[in-house]
Structure 1
Amino acid sequence: MEKGKLYLIPTYLSSTNNGDNITNAVKNVIRTTTYYLVENIRTARRYLSSLQLGLDIETIHFEPMDKRFDEQALPALFKPLLAGVNMGILSEAGLPAIADPGNLAVRYAHEQDIEVVCLEGASSIILGLISSGLNGQQFTFHGYLPIDPVLREKKIRTMEQIALSSGYSQVFMETPYRNQQLLTALTKILKPDTVLAIGADLTGQEQYSRSKKVSVWKKTFFKLDKIPCTFSIGIY
């Protein structure tokens, strides 16, 4: 029996996005997909409904795949795929499998020789980097930084050392409600001449990208509370 395909389906980056931000190719896949692995069921249902594709949401099957996900559940979840039914992965924002557990499903799909299909969509990581003016040829993405203040400071200093010695841009992110706290920590820990770039609400109606030396950031009030952001540090 021919196996189904696993589609990596993009979602909105900003709460102000709408269906115009999603390509027709993505919408066509969504029209015919009834099984999903999702980071958040409520967000996934709201996203599919917002596309106004005439879907009957109650007939669509969602399985949660959040940070508490146990990959031992994958064999059971993949039964539709092995039976020839296509399945999609939805992140809470942007592209799946980056800074979310979707990579576990993708890895398992490869192990089972299931075709993985990437669909075009926005990535806050790439958008934040290309709008920063920092090195886009060599960079490292670190995901979310440690919550513990001591470990976070150690991580920030390590990233800065790598950026200054190698020229590689260092890209990372934080949960929106901790963005302001992170910005304060960055301006205290980083050297004055290190460049800090922030991409906020990317693709949204209030999106902005700022790239300045830390010495300038210290003199600038920038409100980031509850706004999705990416951060990059490096040198010019």
Structure 2
Amino acid sequence: MAAPVSVEARLAYVLQHFRLAYDNVSAVSIGYAATQPAIEIKDGAGDFFRQDQPYPPAPNWREWQGTDVPFFFDAAPEASLIEIKPGRATINADIISAAFYLLSGWQEFYSDGRDRHGRFPYAASVQKQHGFVALPVVNYYFDVLKTAIEHVTGQAVLPRYWAEKAPFAAFISHDIDNLRSAWKAPAKAALQQRQPAKFGQLLWRHLTEADAWDNLENVAAAMAPYGAKSTFFILPAHQPGVDGTPNADYE
């Protein structure tokens, strides 16, 4: 059974992430109708977060800033996305519940879909189902909320930046599954094509030279001129796992 996630918990979780994305956010009440906030979010989730269903109803697509965006838990699809009055704003799609659903990985936790490694597969995701894998949906939800906050407070809400005003940062990593196997595919092809000379050449190169994939120092050197460092994830075993999953081809 699902552990119920209250309205208050969802709201706190999403607003915490919102404040990680934006700087100098003025204090303003944000919530659902029962609390009579300055920025009211229409409740569209109902009992969804008291259950263990992995997928909500299909999203309603709305245009925001020239882009079609899927809004889950859209409480009033016929109404304007934002209704503005002096000192108040109403957001008619439940962007808090929708952002919580996507940020928390709810579908990954409650879906039975798993690949051979026990991981939640992309093919089972709402991103795949509704075709928005390349769209930063939660960022658009946050932009809707930012617009409402700016109206109510009369103050600009600015995005947070990384060092030296960089708009984004990258974590560069490498999964080192194989270091010694670059030669295998062309060698197999040579055998299938009955090219023994080419096969022998590839085998000799494998026995006497470093494999093309054995290039970790080259990778690190390629990053150095940019002042960047890579994180390398090394497999700790080269024997197959108990479920037959292949591990490293190196010790």
Query: Which has the bigger relative contact order, CA under 8 A and spacing at least 6?
Result: 1
With normalisation by structure 1, the TM-score equals 0.28
Structure number with the higher strand fraction is 1
With normalisation by structure 2, the TM-score equals 0.26
